[in-house]
Amino acid sequence: MKNRMILVYIITWLVGLLWLIPFLGVFMTAIRPLDELLNGWWSLKPFNIGFKNFLSAWNHPTAALAQGILNSLKVVIPSTILPLVIATMAGYYLSRYRFPGKRILFVIIIITITLPQQMIAVPVYSMLSKMGLIDSYLGLILLHTAWGIPWITFFMRNFFATLPAEIEEAARIDGASDFAVFFKIVFPLTLPAIGSASVLQFNWVWSDFFLALITIYSPDKLLATQRIPLMRGIYHVDWGLLSAAAIMVMIIPILVFFLLQKYYVKGMIGWAMK
């Protein structure tokens, strides 16, 4: 049994190392001058470290990543908070209350989760255009909110289903209202699940390219993910510049994960154990 566990650990570490190889390649490409990469990023002779690519990407003349990251934060923060607030209450209502059409609504939520973004691109663009929300952050925020509510509702509904209802019933017997039960008793118990959902929603909105592509087109409004392709030259591709830009875009969601790691791990492990 012990030898078997050792073998499992070795295989796990090897798979993890293989998964890290592309990231190592991007990092090595970002910190080294272009002439050292002609024989491959794994060649270490010569090996000189520099941060010129990061500065060039940050202050790019036509696609500055500094402005792009700020624009992305303007979209991702409300696009994470709004669906979390709405879907948490919706998930609680679906898990605790009975009402006509409950099953039909749940099926609609499941179907909405499975819809690919490309399928709704044309009607969504037409709708936003009629509302005057094309090339506006509000339109993109509403899109991400609408796209996040179904899966977060499903996620939270399943989490609420694992919580015992006896505590809520006892509070209602003592005279607590539904809002008091939710905010004072249920909400503190759901912080791990909310932490998990917020990390996932933040990462998905931050990494999104497609929805931003069909809604935002003004150069000064472009998000971080939209600016990286613009750093490619017509006749020359500076892979060091692109790699540095990709790393800087990845840093923000990684920081968010580490900040909410405690809640994320508790939410995932706790839910699995239940």
CATH homologous superfamily of 62-273: MetI-like (1.10.3720.10)
**95, pLDDT greater than 80:** yes
pLDDT of residue 72: 95
pLDDT of residue 65: 92
Rounded Cα distance between 219 and 227, Å, is 9
What is the band of 263 on the pLDDT scale with cuts at 50, 70, 90?
low
pLDDT of residue 163: 80
Rounded Cα distance between 267 and 228, Å, is 33
More confident residue, 215 or 264: 215
Q: What is the mean pLDDT of residues 262-271?
A: 54
pLDDT of residue 247: 92
**200, pLDDT greater than 70:** yes
**238, pLDDT greater than 50:** yes
pLDDT of residue 1: 62
Rounded Cα distance between 271 and 264, Å, is 11
Query: What are the boundaries of each domain within the chain?
Result: 1-50, 62-273
For the ranges 30-34, 103-107, 244-248, the maximum mean pLDDT occurs at: 244-248
Helical pair 137-161 and 261-273, crossing angle rounded to 10 deg: 40
From its phi and psi, is residue 177 left (phi > 0), alpha (psi between -120 and 50) or beta?
beta
Express each pLDDT in 15-29 by its tens digit: 888 888 888 878 888
Q: Are 118 and 88 in contact (CB under 8 A)?
A: no
Express each pLDDT in 39-79 by its tens digit: 776 777 777 788 888 998 999 888 899 999 999 999 999 99
Rounded Cα distance between 124 and 78, Å, is 20
Task: Give me the sign of the Cα torsion angle 148, 267, 155, 190.
Answer: negative
Close Cβ partners of 34 (under 8 Å, ≥ 6 residues apart): 238, 239, 240
Q: What is the mean pLDDT of residues 139-151?
A: 93
Question: Across the chain, what does the average pLDDT equal?
Answer: 85
- Worst-scoring range by mean pLDDT, 109-118, 138-147, 217-226? 109-118
pLDDT of residue 264: 58
Q: What is the mean pLDDT of residues 106-115?
A: 86
Length of the chain, in residues: 274
Express each pLDDT in 164-175 by its tens digit: 877 778 778 877
Q: What is the mean pLDDT of residues 186-193?
A: 84
Rounded Cα distance between 202 and 73, Å, is 10
Reported pTM:
0.84
Rounded Cα distance between 190 and 184, Å, is 11
